Protein backbone atom coordinates (compact mmCIF):
# COMPACT_ATOMS: atom_id res chain seq x y z
CA UNK A 1 0.00 0.00 0.00
CA UNK A 2 1.29 3.41 -0.96
CA UNK A 3 -0.24 4.76 2.25
CA UNK A 4 2.91 3.72 4.08
CA UNK A 5 4.91 6.35 2.21
CA UNK A 6 2.53 9.08 3.32
CA UNK A 7 2.44 7.77 6.88
CA UNK A 8 6.23 7.65 7.02
CA UNK A 9 6.41 11.31 6.04
CA UNK A 10 3.71 12.33 8.50
CA UNK A 11 5.26 10.38 11.37
CA UNK A 12 8.69 11.86 10.73
CA UNK A 13 8.80 15.27 12.43
CA UNK A 14 12.02 16.12 10.62
CA UNK A 15 10.49 15.49 7.20
CA UNK A 16 7.41 17.66 7.43
CA UNK A 17 7.84 21.42 6.94
CA UNK A 18 7.82 23.45 10.14
CA UNK A 19 5.89 26.64 10.70
CA UNK A 20 7.62 29.80 9.56
CA UNK A 21 9.86 31.13 12.36
CA UNK A 22 8.23 34.56 12.39
CA UNK A 23 4.77 33.04 12.93
CA UNK A 24 6.08 30.85 15.75
CA UNK A 25 7.69 33.86 17.43
CA UNK A 26 4.48 35.84 17.06
CA UNK A 27 2.34 33.03 18.50
CA UNK A 28 4.67 32.67 21.48
CA UNK A 29 4.60 36.41 22.09
CA UNK A 30 0.81 36.55 21.96
CA UNK A 31 0.65 34.04 24.81
CA UNK A 32 2.13 36.68 27.09
CA UNK A 33 -0.37 39.02 28.80
CA UNK A 34 2.30 41.74 28.67
CA UNK A 35 2.60 41.76 24.88
CA UNK A 36 2.23 45.24 23.41
CA UNK A 37 1.46 46.42 19.90
CA UNK A 38 5.06 47.62 19.59
CA UNK A 39 6.45 44.24 20.63
CA UNK A 40 4.21 42.48 18.11
CA UNK A 41 5.14 44.96 15.42
CA UNK A 42 8.85 44.47 16.14
CA UNK A 43 8.54 40.70 15.67
CA UNK A 44 6.75 41.06 12.33
CA UNK A 45 9.22 43.63 11.02
CA UNK A 46 12.06 41.15 11.54
CA UNK A 47 11.05 40.06 8.04
CA UNK A 48 10.54 43.23 6.04
CA UNK A 49 9.01 41.42 3.06
CA UNK A 50 6.29 39.91 5.24
CA UNK A 51 5.75 43.19 7.08
CA UNK A 52 5.21 45.01 3.78
CA UNK A 53 2.78 42.40 2.50
CA UNK A 54 0.77 42.46 5.73
CA UNK A 55 0.52 46.24 5.60
CA UNK A 56 -0.43 46.16 1.92
CA UNK A 57 -3.22 43.65 2.67
CA UNK A 58 -4.47 45.81 5.52
CA UNK A 59 -4.69 48.74 3.10
CA UNK A 60 -6.31 46.68 0.33
CA UNK A 61 -9.93 46.51 -0.74
CA UNK A 62 -10.38 43.56 1.64
CA UNK A 63 -10.77 45.90 4.56
CA UNK A 64 -11.80 49.13 2.81
CA UNK A 65 -10.61 51.17 5.77
CA UNK A 66 -11.57 54.85 5.71
CA UNK A 67 -7.94 55.96 5.85
CA UNK A 68 -4.59 54.45 4.96
CA UNK A 69 -2.77 52.63 7.78
CA UNK A 70 0.84 53.78 7.82
CA UNK A 71 2.43 51.33 10.25
CA UNK A 72 1.97 47.90 11.77
CA UNK A 73 1.27 49.18 15.29
CA UNK A 74 -1.73 51.08 14.00
CA UNK A 75 -2.85 48.03 12.00
CA UNK A 76 -2.67 45.84 15.10
CA UNK A 77 -4.83 48.29 17.05
CA UNK A 78 -7.39 48.61 14.23
CA UNK A 79 -7.69 44.96 13.17
CA UNK A 80 -6.86 43.09 16.37
CA UNK A 81 -4.39 40.36 17.16
CA UNK A 82 -6.21 37.42 15.56
CA UNK A 83 -6.50 39.05 12.16
CA UNK A 84 -2.87 40.19 12.20
CA UNK A 85 -1.72 36.71 13.18
CA UNK A 86 -3.73 35.23 10.31
CA UNK A 87 -2.17 37.66 7.86
CA UNK A 88 1.32 36.79 9.10
CA UNK A 89 0.57 33.06 8.74
CA UNK A 90 -0.74 33.57 5.20
CA UNK A 91 2.14 35.71 3.97
CA UNK A 92 4.92 33.75 5.69
CA UNK A 93 3.56 30.38 4.51
CA UNK A 94 3.47 31.54 0.90
CA UNK A 95 7.01 32.86 1.21
CA UNK A 96 8.25 29.61 2.76
CA UNK A 97 6.74 27.25 0.21
CA UNK A 98 7.52 29.39 -2.82
CA UNK A 99 11.19 28.92 -1.96
CA UNK A 100 10.77 25.13 -2.26
CA UNK A 101 11.03 23.70 -5.76
CA UNK A 102 9.28 20.57 -6.96
CA UNK A 103 10.46 18.40 -9.84
CA UNK A 104 6.97 17.07 -10.52
CA UNK A 105 4.76 18.18 -13.41
CA UNK A 106 2.70 20.15 -10.91
CA UNK A 107 2.63 23.88 -11.74
CA UNK A 108 3.55 25.57 -8.44
CA UNK A 109 2.83 29.08 -9.69
CA UNK A 110 -0.70 28.18 -10.75
CA UNK A 111 -1.11 26.22 -7.51
CA UNK A 112 -0.45 29.35 -5.44
CA UNK A 113 -2.77 31.37 -7.61
CA UNK A 114 -5.45 28.73 -6.98
CA UNK A 115 -4.76 28.83 -3.23
CA UNK A 116 -5.05 32.63 -3.18
CA UNK A 117 -8.19 32.42 -5.33
CA UNK A 118 -9.83 29.95 -2.95
CA UNK A 119 -8.85 32.10 0.04
CA UNK A 120 -10.37 35.19 -1.58
CA UNK A 121 -13.54 33.38 -2.66
CA UNK A 122 -14.02 31.78 0.76
CA UNK A 123 -13.56 35.13 2.49
CA UNK A 124 -16.06 36.87 0.20
CA UNK A 125 -18.58 34.11 0.90
CA UNK A 126 -17.88 34.38 4.64
CA UNK A 127 -18.49 38.13 4.53
CA UNK A 128 -21.68 37.66 2.52
CA UNK A 129 -22.92 35.12 5.07
CA UNK A 130 -21.94 37.47 7.94
CA UNK A 131 -19.54 34.98 9.52
CA UNK A 132 -17.80 36.19 12.66
CA UNK A 133 -14.22 35.88 11.39
CA UNK A 134 -13.76 36.02 7.59
CA UNK A 135 -9.98 36.16 8.14
CA UNK A 136 -10.04 32.67 9.65
CA UNK A 137 -11.85 31.46 6.54
CA UNK A 138 -9.31 33.24 4.33
CA UNK A 139 -6.55 31.28 6.09
CA UNK A 140 -8.43 28.00 5.71
CA UNK A 141 -8.95 28.73 2.02
CA UNK A 142 -5.31 29.51 1.44
CA UNK A 143 -4.14 26.32 3.18
CA UNK A 144 -6.92 24.00 1.95
CA UNK A 145 -4.65 22.18 -0.51
CA UNK A 146 -1.46 22.26 1.58
CA UNK A 147 -1.39 18.44 1.51
CA UNK A 148 -0.74 18.57 -2.24
CA UNK A 149 2.49 20.44 -1.54
CA UNK A 150 3.65 17.74 0.87
CA UNK A 151 2.97 15.13 -1.81
CA UNK A 152 4.66 17.20 -4.53
CA UNK A 153 7.77 17.81 -2.44
CA UNK A 154 8.28 14.45 -0.74
CA UNK A 155 6.56 11.98 -3.08
CA UNK A 156 7.47 13.55 -6.40
CA UNK A 157 7.38 10.46 -8.61
CA UNK A 158 4.04 9.22 -7.28
CA UNK A 159 2.53 12.70 -7.28
CA UNK A 160 3.58 13.19 -10.90
CA UNK A 161 1.67 9.99 -11.65
CA UNK A 162 -1.36 11.45 -9.84
CA UNK A 163 -1.21 14.71 -11.81
CA UNK A 164 -0.79 12.88 -15.14
CA UNK A 165 -3.65 10.50 -14.34
CA UNK A 166 -6.01 13.39 -13.46
CA UNK A 167 -5.04 15.19 -16.64
CA UNK A 168 -5.75 12.12 -18.79
CA UNK A 169 -8.79 10.69 -17.01
CA UNK A 170 -10.51 13.84 -15.76
CA UNK A 171 -11.16 12.13 -12.43
CA UNK A 172 -11.15 14.21 -9.22
CA UNK A 173 -7.67 14.34 -7.72
CA UNK A 174 -8.82 12.94 -4.38
CA UNK A 175 -9.97 9.76 -6.12
CA UNK A 176 -6.65 9.26 -7.91
CA UNK A 177 -4.68 10.08 -4.77
CA UNK A 178 -6.59 7.48 -2.78
CA UNK A 179 -5.82 4.87 -5.41
CA UNK A 180 -2.10 5.69 -5.61
CA UNK A 181 -1.37 6.84 -2.03
CA UNK A 182 -4.17 5.18 -0.09
CA UNK A 183 -5.23 8.62 1.18
CA UNK A 184 -5.77 12.07 -0.29
CA UNK A 185 -4.33 15.55 0.20
CA UNK A 186 -7.02 16.53 2.71
CA UNK A 187 -5.71 13.87 5.10
CA UNK A 188 -2.07 14.87 4.64
CA UNK A 189 -2.95 18.55 4.94
CA UNK A 190 -4.89 17.91 8.14
CA UNK A 191 -1.91 16.11 9.67
CA UNK A 192 0.40 19.00 8.77
CA UNK A 193 -2.04 21.52 10.25
CA UNK A 194 -2.20 19.49 13.47
CA UNK A 195 1.58 19.38 13.62
CA UNK A 196 1.61 23.15 13.22
CA UNK A 197 -0.86 23.49 16.12
CA UNK A 198 -3.28 25.44 13.96
CA UNK A 199 -6.80 26.00 15.25
CA UNK A 200 -9.30 23.16 15.09
CA UNK A 201 -11.40 25.27 12.73
CA UNK A 202 -8.50 25.55 10.28
CA UNK A 203 -7.79 21.82 10.57
CA UNK A 204 -11.44 21.07 9.78
CA UNK A 205 -11.52 23.40 6.77
CA UNK A 206 -8.47 21.64 5.33
CA UNK A 207 -9.74 18.14 6.09
CA UNK A 208 -13.32 18.55 4.89
CA UNK A 209 -13.19 21.13 2.09
CA UNK A 210 -14.28 18.55 -0.50
CA UNK A 211 -17.13 17.42 1.77
CA UNK A 212 -16.47 13.92 0.46
CA UNK A 213 -16.38 12.29 3.87
CA UNK A 214 -19.64 13.70 5.28
CA UNK A 215 -18.18 15.48 8.31
CA UNK A 216 -20.23 15.09 11.48
CA UNK A 217 -20.42 18.86 11.91
CA UNK A 218 -20.52 20.76 8.64
CA UNK A 219 -19.74 24.33 9.67
CA UNK A 220 -20.31 27.53 7.76
CA UNK A 221 -16.53 27.91 7.53
CA UNK A 222 -16.09 24.51 5.86
CA UNK A 223 -18.99 25.32 3.53
CA UNK A 224 -17.38 28.64 2.54
CA UNK A 225 -14.08 26.94 1.64
CA UNK A 226 -15.92 24.15 -0.20
CA UNK A 227 -17.89 26.56 -2.38
CA UNK A 228 -14.92 28.94 -2.67
CA UNK A 229 -12.78 26.12 -4.06
CA UNK A 230 -15.45 25.26 -6.63
CA UNK A 231 -15.89 28.88 -7.73
CA UNK A 232 -12.14 29.32 -7.96
CA UNK A 233 -11.83 26.32 -10.30
CA UNK A 234 -14.84 27.45 -12.35
CA UNK A 235 -13.33 30.94 -12.75
CA UNK A 236 -9.89 29.50 -13.67
CA UNK A 237 -8.16 31.37 -10.87
CA UNK A 238 -4.92 29.42 -10.95
CA UNK A 239 -5.01 25.64 -10.87
CA UNK A 240 -4.85 23.01 -8.18
CA UNK A 241 -4.43 20.27 -10.78
CA UNK A 242 -8.10 19.43 -11.36
CA UNK A 243 -9.25 18.77 -14.91
CA UNK A 244 -12.97 19.29 -14.37
CA UNK A 245 -15.00 21.74 -12.31
CA UNK A 246 -16.50 19.95 -9.29
CA UNK A 247 -20.12 20.50 -8.28
CA UNK A 248 -20.61 22.48 -5.08
CA UNK A 249 -22.95 20.63 -2.77
CA UNK A 250 -26.30 22.32 -2.20
CA UNK A 251 -26.01 21.49 1.48
CA UNK A 252 -23.10 23.94 1.69
CA UNK A 253 -25.18 26.71 0.11
CA UNK A 254 -28.01 25.96 2.53
CA UNK A 255 -25.70 26.10 5.55
CA UNK A 256 -24.22 29.42 4.42
CA UNK A 257 -27.76 30.68 3.72
CA UNK A 258 -26.68 32.73 0.72
CA UNK A 259 -29.27 33.58 -1.92
CA UNK A 260 -28.26 32.38 -5.38
CA UNK A 261 -29.26 35.74 -6.87
CA UNK A 262 -26.24 37.18 -5.03
CA UNK A 263 -23.87 34.98 -7.02
CA UNK A 264 -23.10 37.51 -9.76
CA UNK A 265 -22.10 40.15 -7.21
CA UNK A 266 -20.05 37.58 -5.29
CA UNK A 267 -18.15 36.54 -8.44
CA UNK A 268 -17.44 40.14 -9.41
CA UNK A 269 -15.98 40.84 -5.96
CA UNK A 270 -13.92 37.63 -6.01
CA UNK A 271 -12.42 38.51 -9.38
CA UNK A 272 -11.52 42.04 -8.28
CA UNK A 273 -10.00 41.03 -4.95
CA UNK A 274 -8.15 38.07 -6.48
CA UNK A 275 -6.17 40.25 -8.86
CA UNK A 276 -5.22 42.67 -6.09
CA UNK A 277 -4.30 39.87 -3.69
CA UNK A 278 -2.06 38.09 -6.19
CA UNK A 279 -0.11 41.29 -6.78
CA UNK A 280 0.37 41.80 -3.03
CA UNK A 281 1.14 38.21 -2.01
CA UNK A 282 3.29 37.34 -5.00
CA UNK A 283 5.40 40.49 -4.80
Q: Identify the band that residue 78 occupies on the pLDDT scale cut at 50, 70 and 90.
A: confident
Q: Which of 6-10, 92-96, 157-161 has the lowest mean pLDDT?
A: 6-10
Question: pTM for the complete prediction?
Answer: 0.90
Task: Give the model confidence (pLDDT) of 41-67 as tens digits.
Answer: 999 999 898 889 899 999 998 888 889
Tell me the average pLDDT across 108-116.
Answer: 91
- Chain centroid offset of residue 130 CA: 20
pLDDT for 101 beyond 70 = no
Pick from 202-211, 216-225, 228-237: least confident? 216-225
pLDDT in tens, 140-179: 999 999 999 888 888 888 899 999 999 999 999 999 999 9
> How far is 76 from 84, CA to CA, in rounded Å?
6
Work out the angle at residue 145's Cα, subtended by the Cα atoms of residues 94 and 250, and round it to the nearest 5 degrees. 130
Q: 268 pLDDT band (50/70/90 cuts)?
A: very high
Mean pLDDT over all residues of the chain?
88
Q: What is the CATH number of domain 101-283?
A: 1.10.3210.10
Question: Residues of the chain with pLDDT > 90: what percent?
Answer: 55
Q: In the chain, which ranges are continuous DSSP H helix?
A: 3-11, 21-30, 37-44, 48-58, 72-79, 81-98, 108-128, 134-143, 146-154, 156-169, 173-181, 185-195, 200-208, 220-234, 250-256, 263-282
Inter-CA distances, 18 with 92, 93, 194, 241, 250, Å: 12, 10, 11, 24, 36
Q: Which residue has the higher pLDDT, 12 or 84?
A: 84
Is the model's pLDDT at 235 over the cut of 70?
yes
Write the CA distances from 155 to 5, 26, 102, 190, 237, integer angstroms.
Answer: 8, 31, 10, 17, 26
Distances (CA, A) of 232 to 8, 101, 104, 197, 242: 32, 24, 23, 27, 11
CA distance 238 to 120: 12
* Predicted pLDDT of residue 103: 62
pLDDT at 8 over 80: no
Q: How confident is the model at residue 16 (pLDDT cuts 50, 70, 90)?
A: low
Domain boundaries, the chain: 18-99, 101-283
Is the model's pLDDT at 1 over the cut of 50?
no
CB 53 within 8 A of CB 22: no
Q: Report residue 100's pLDDT band, with 50, 70 and 90 as the boundaries.
A: low
Q: Cα(139)–Cα(206) distance, rounded to whole angstroms?
A: 10
- Tens digit of each residue's pLDDT (9 = 90 or more) over 220-234: 999 999 999 999 999
Question: Who has greater pLDDT, 6 or 214?
Answer: 6
Amino acid sequence: MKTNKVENIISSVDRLPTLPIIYTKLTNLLQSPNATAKMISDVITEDQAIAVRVLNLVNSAFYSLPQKIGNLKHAIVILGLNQIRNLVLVTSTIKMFKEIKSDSSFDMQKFWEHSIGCAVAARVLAETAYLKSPDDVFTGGLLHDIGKLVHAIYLQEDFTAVVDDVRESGLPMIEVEKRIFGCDHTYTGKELAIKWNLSQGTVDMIRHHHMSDNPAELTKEISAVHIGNTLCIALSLGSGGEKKVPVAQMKAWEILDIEMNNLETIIERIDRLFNESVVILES
